[in-house]
Amino acid sequence: MASRLLFKGVAGNAVARPALTLSRQSLGVSAVRNYSAQQPTQQDPKQKANSIIDSLPGNSLVSKTGYITLGTGLATFLISKEVYVFNEETLVLVGAGGLLFGLLKYLREPFTTMGNEHINRIKSVLNQARDDHKSAVQERIDQVGQMKDLVDVTKALFEISRETAQLEAEAFKLKQQVAVATEVKSTLDSWVRHETSVREREQKQLAAYLIEKIHKDLKDPKIQQQILDQAVVDVQSNLSPPSLNGMQTHRRRPSKSILLPRTLATAPHHHSTYARRMTIHLPESVPDNTHLWGYALLCATFFVFVATMYAMVGSKYAPQTNIEWLDWIKNDTYYCLLVPITAIAWIYFIVWNWMGMKFFRHN
- Nearest of 332, 327, 338 to residue 311 by alpha carbon: 332
DSSP state at residue 57: S
pTM: 0.26
* CB-count burial class (<10 Å; 0-12, 13-18, 19+) for 259: middle
pLDDT beyond 50 at 181: yes
Model pLDDT for residues 273-332, shown as the tens digit of each residue: 444 444 444 444 445 555 566 667 777 777 777 766 766 666 666 666 666 666 666 665
Range of the domain at 125: 77-147
Is 5 part of a structural domain of the chain? no
Is 278 part of a structural domain of the chain? no
Is 9 part of a structural domain of the chain? no
DSSP state at residue 271: -
Task: Report d(CA 211, CA 213) in Å as an integer.
Answer: 5
Is 267 part of a structural domain of the chain? no
Q: How many residues does the chain have?
A: 363
Model pLDDT for residues 106-164, shown as the tens digit of each residue: 888 898 999 999 999 999 999 999 999 999 999 998 888 877 788 888 889 999 999 99
Instruction: Confirm if 230 and 258 have CB atoms less than 8 A apart.
Output: yes
Q: With b meaning 16 or more CB within 10 Å and e meaning fewer, what string describes 142-155?
A: eeeeeeeeeeeeee
Is 211 part of a structural domain of the chain? no
Q: 117, 147, 177 — which closes off a domain?
A: 147
Is 191 part of a structural domain of the chain? no
Q: What is the pLDDT of residue 302?
A: 75
Instruction: Confirm if 256 and 363 have CB atoms less than 8 A apart.
Output: yes
Is 15 part of a structural domain of the chain? no
Q: 147, 177, 205 — which closes off a domain?
A: 147
Overall domain count for the chain: 2
- Nearest of 214, 211, 210, 255 to residue 235 by alpha carbon: 255
Task: Report d(CA 160, CA 155) in Å as an integer.
Answer: 9
Complete DSSP assignment for 43-63: PPHHHHHHHHHHHSSSSSHHH
Q: What is the mean pLDDT of residues 52-56?
A: 71
Residues near 51 by Cβ (< 8 Å), separated by ≥ 6?
none
- Averaged pLDDT of the chain: 72
- Nearest of 86, 76, 99, 83 to residue 2 by alpha carbon: 86
Stretch among 3-7, 175-179, 277-281, 321-325 having the lowest mean pLDDT: 3-7
Q: 147, 165, 193 — which closes off a domain?
A: 147
Instruction: Confirm if 333 and 326 have CB atoms less than 8 A apart.
Output: no
Is 161 part of a structural domain of the chain? no
Instruction: Confirm if 38 and 27 have CB atoms less than 8 A apart.
Output: no
Instruction: Confirm if 291 and 311 have CB atoms less than 8 A apart.
Output: no
